[in-house]
Amino acid sequence: MSNDNQNGDRPQQPGGQAPQPGGPAPQPGAHPPQPGAAWQQPPAPQPGQQPYGGYPQGQGANGDPGFFKALFDVSFRNYVTLKFAKVIFIILIVLAILGWLTAITAGFTVDPIVGVLAILFGWIGPFIALVIYRVLLEAAVALIRTAQNTSILVERR
């Protein structure tokens, strides 16, 4: 019985690679690793360039200034409201729920009937308040985005 396998008892994998003992088995259809091909660190940035994957200091992913830079911008060219609209609305939702739970608790301390009525109808006031606050926040965001887009158009001229 002749053994045409050059690797002894180890079977050949597709692509001519023998599996490494204790290593992961190659996936079918995967290309064999190239000799000397190892992960390489990206090159160092040139002077004036940002580090790999970094943003200019004080700016966000889309080139907007950071929160604190926008907060202390006395020329009011950068808006903080857009960054806070989501947080403000979440806080309002939590306050509305706490208000409803407070109304339920107060209702049960007065009379069980009042507590049940607070459970059934006490959510209506906080819900209406949330709708009004949501509309006001959307109006503020739309107004700010309109101002930003208008300033971009003016700068293009």
Segment 73-118, tens digit of pLDDT: 788 777 888 888 999 999 999 999 999 999 999 999 999 999 999 9
Amino acid code (one letter) for 9: D
SS3 assignment, position 65 = strand
Phi and psi based region of residue 48 (left: phi greater than 0; alpha: psi -120 to 50; beta: remaining): left
Q: What pTM, to 2 d.p., does this model score?
A: 0.54
Task: Output the six-digit token pair for 59.
Answer: 């700016």
Sequence-distant (6+) residues with CB within 8 A of 71 are 80
